Structure 1
């Protein structure tokens, strides 16, 4: 049961009737026509902009269209009234019976309620985390991991065929630094005193790796020049770091479908193949770039370079792909990696990066557009920084990694469910304040608690109903006499439940999983309001003594709330609770 879709179909059908009657011309694009909740609930249950968006192509005044369309909508038995407002909006009120049926529809569909076919089974690759394999994941990676994982789940719920992917950045100079750092810990494991310099990583997490290397090779690398051990230690260290990262992701409940190694692109012809593909489109050339902004001619030494004509696909400037010494720039393997994704047949690509990748967006979109001839869209989502607080004050944690707070530090402090939900309480491109005191509060101000408490309250009702001998199985509740749900507070909850399928599609279309967290908080708020009114108005309580039919209807409403909360939390990767402890 997707009411907004159903009423949208009613509007389209009524417009079709007006076209058949010659009131409107044929061939109108109905894509911009929407049916959505009005900004002011006092105006009705739903509103449509049909007359406003069709006026210009139809060559008519919006209000004239609205006044002809409204009676046709009002003639439908589900519509109690259709009123024209302002210059041509139409506000709809639905019959109470329509809202009363929502809980039964939710229960009948189960956690599949709200699932969409919008994705049509198309293939989408969501790449996220993709941290350098030089240490454990830090709190910044945590936000990207949660956002990417929730987005992947949301797209799956909306009908996409989703691949979760991690790009291992193991082809750059940073893995050589990692190898040298592990070698120092290896020497330390043999009893030598060492000094971390030249940018090497001093984190304690490498102590165990150095000891493991000693157990693996003994003293074979002792006193040997770097050329004899660097490659082997680099491979050993990278494997160890990726195992650590996999453990961190598992701790957070993140599961990747595919890990792709940057190193696999080098020496295999794959970079060359990608660049040749761009050459065949006349997008690679030798040229000289203009000075960067802020540089004067005296500061700038122009030189001829091998460039990608990214401006042909929306970038601000063309981009170098080869250094003057003939080595590839960092952009070249990125092009090859995305060429690999395009070649795997994905219909859409999504990359989730930290805020420091802002300059990367246009060039990478240009590359994917060029490689796919505009067929495959690439959306790059940037996750802003996370600031840690405790009770409003900046919070310094142990920093066992040496220089940063790890994902494990955060999860050990508050648990994976709280971590995940809080990371989604802001849009990805907005800074996030993570207050360790507030996220554990049991109050309305803590959205994690507030949503979980609503779910737990429903299960408390179910337990009490069973103890009273009532059949509260989903089969029984789906057959409840919902006509007894006639109070405005009960109908408010039913109306919020009806918005869930629409919310899923809006969030999936915009790649905005935070909308799910916001919706769950609003649903919980409406449910708690109903619960609290029952304290003063006994007739609103979910269990009505000696009135099993009335109790069943009210419990069906509560059960529908728990079904939607469970589905929403599932998208966010958070386990719903049945009891608050």
Structure 2
């Protein structure tokens, strides 16, 4: 692949200069980059090697750049090389290299862009992890798509990925769920339950749960004390909610490998195991929290609690892992959960809503402590999405009671549009999802624009086949400058995939696809003003077959990028 080829060229030149004594041995080259320059007029590739290594070499950046360019310029793969500014090196790629890249796209097909850079390192990606108290709604959608696309990206670069969902089924919310389900159970048995009491979940989605409970238990728990049915109904209601959640996620093409239960974690004593591990290293101690600063709490009193020494790992205060009644705090449970995850993964990534930002530092401290710094841990925060219709706030769903469900969204605009739109901005940037704009057939709608590029290519290929002309690599020498520019854009795809995976930013793929689609549309439109640039030219079958080969593989690259986003490419529009 083009970037890998030229990275090897740069490395080989630096090795030569090291052997010649121009560069000292053992230099750290991790900051040496090779990427497209911001202005394509400057070249196809740019490296900062001279800027980064000049100080260690005891040379001026431009002097070192001259030695590097002298050797790079001798390579057959390099058309030209020059020095810009204080020492940046810009290269232009020789045409045969670009044609080989096009052939590689054709040869690799759906594998183009994939690599083994991750070398089988296991990464646990936890995403969604919504409380099992109702159907998936808009608030869950963005994190679900970002997490799923990130998992796909990590697999594409050679990581082994565990997709995990943490089921928060041990808190007060699931007790509320059980009480809400009992109310619907009584309703299913014929009771007039009236208005849903404040504090219980009002959505109609609980009616089938009540009906299922009535079918299973009859009137056994209709008038029973809460203590007799609460645990039974909690377990049954959570199971039904998880079935609903899996179904909702399936509408978006999202799956998980592991569903970890908070209740099961505590029942298995995992939190006690984590506490014992930390106490054995004097990282949990019994102490008293300071009174909250800036607040006057009349009934506040000092209580001795087990505290985790999170300040040793960058947190601003030590954190209690248990409450005064001996039950586990949320942090205590989360600490045990991450310890459990770290047993089967080399790296952990959590996709959380932005409202969880306050807990990031303490959980990072916990993972660092429990794994003795051996397990990498990262948190990606996802901002909320504002739901609009023609610029106006969208009304809420009647079925859910107070929110728009994922099922509502997918039914209206389709899975592909939802997923693509959710990846069109950085996860930590707020975004609007306007139903009207998502469905708009215009250049301003990236969902449409990228899909239209792929559909247009498929239409061209069908039309050419009807006229008896097929894509062929036999006459690629007939391709000109504009075609080469398009190949250069396609050749960036493997680098984009690797950088998106490394930065944990799947939106980079969406941005790239929009640029590639724009480049193809611009190339196609050349034929409107310049007939000799039309892809299909009846009087020139050889050039036509070469341009069809190019178009076909641009389509393959678009298809590969969409697949990483979990989006199917459109064959027609």
Partner of 2:428: 429
Check the 8 A contact 1:177/1:201 in 2, yes or no: yes
Structure 2: tracts of 5 or more residues without a match: none
1:321-340 mapped onto 2 (5 Å cutoff): 321-340=321-340
Displacement of 1:311 after TM fit?
A: 1.5
Displacement of 1:301 after TM fit?
A: 4.1
Counterpart CA distance in 1 for 2:20 and 2:365 is: 47
User: Secondary structure at the residue paired with 2:381?
Assistant: strand
Partner of 2:168: 169
Partner of 2:142: 143
1:263-342 mapped onto 2 (5 Å cutoff): 263-295=263-295, 301-342=301-342
1:142-221 mapped onto 2 (5 Å cutoff): 142-194=141-193, 195-221=195-221
Give the counterpart of 2:506 among 509, 513, 517.
Answer: 513
Check the 8 A contact 2:470/2:548 in 1, yes or no: no
Displacement of 1:540 after TM fit?
A: 1.4
Counterpart CA distance in 2 for 1:165 and 1:399 is: 31
Partner of 1:386: 385
Partner of 1:108: 107
Partner of 1:546: 539
Counterpart CA distance in 2 for 1:470 and 1:234 is: 65
Counterpart CA distance in 2 for 1:528 and 1:367 is: 50
- Report Cα offsets for 1:196-253 as digits up to 9, x if no partner: 3351101111111111111111111111110111111111111111111111011111
Partner of 2:353: 354
Partner of 2:462: 463
Establish whether residue 71 from structure 1 lines up as the match of residue 64 from structure 2: no
| Range moving further from structure 2, 262-271 or 286-295 | 286-295
- Report Cα offsets for 1:298-344 as digits up to 9, x if no partner: 78644332100112122222111011111111111111111111112
Check the 8 A contact 1:96/1:486 in 2, yes or no: no
Counterpart CA distance in 2 for 1:244 and 1:42 is: 54
Displacement of 1:98 after TM fit?
A: 2.2
Displacement of 1:293 after TM fit?
A: 4.7
Counterpart CA distance in 1 for 2:359 and 2:144 is: 19
Structure 1: tracts of 5 or more residues without a match: none
User: Secondary structure at the residue paired with 1:71?
Assistant: helix
Displacement of 1:152 after TM fit?
A: 0.4
Superposition TM-score, scaled by structure 1 size: 0.96
Partner of 2:444: 445
Counterpart CA distance in 2 for 1:500 and 1:285 is: 51
Check the 8 A contact 1:397/1:409 in 2, yes or no: no
Counterpart CA distance in 1 for 2:398 and 2:59 is: 66
Counterpart CA distance in 2 for 1:413 and 1:41 is: 40
Displacement of 1:258 after TM fit?
A: 1.2
Displacement of 1:289 after TM fit?
A: 2.8
| Range moving further from structure 2, 216-225 or 54-63 | 54-63
Counterpart CA distance in 2 for 1:291 and 1:548 is: 82
Partner of 1:401: 400
Counterpart CA distance in 1 for 2:546 and 2:109 is: 17
Partner of 2:475: 481
Distance 1:58 1:233, change over 3 A: same
| Range moving further from structure 2, 301-310 or 275-284 | 301-310
1:36-47 mapped onto 2 (5 Å cutoff): 36-47=35-46
Displacement of 1:16 after TM fit?
A: 1.3
Counterpart CA distance in 1 for 2:143 and 2:441 is: 26
Count of paired positions? 572
Counterpart CA distance in 2 for 1:250 and 1:297 is: 48
Counterpart CA distance in 2 for 1:425 and 1:300 is: 48
User: Secondary structure at the residue paired with 2:38?
Assistant: coil
- Compute the RMSD of aligned alpha carbons: 1.4
Distance 1:298 1:68, change over 3 A: farther
Check the 8 A contact 2:164/2:260 in 1, yes or no: yes
User: Secondary structure at the residue paired with 1:322?
Assistant: coil
Superposition TM-score, scaled by structure 2 size: 0.97
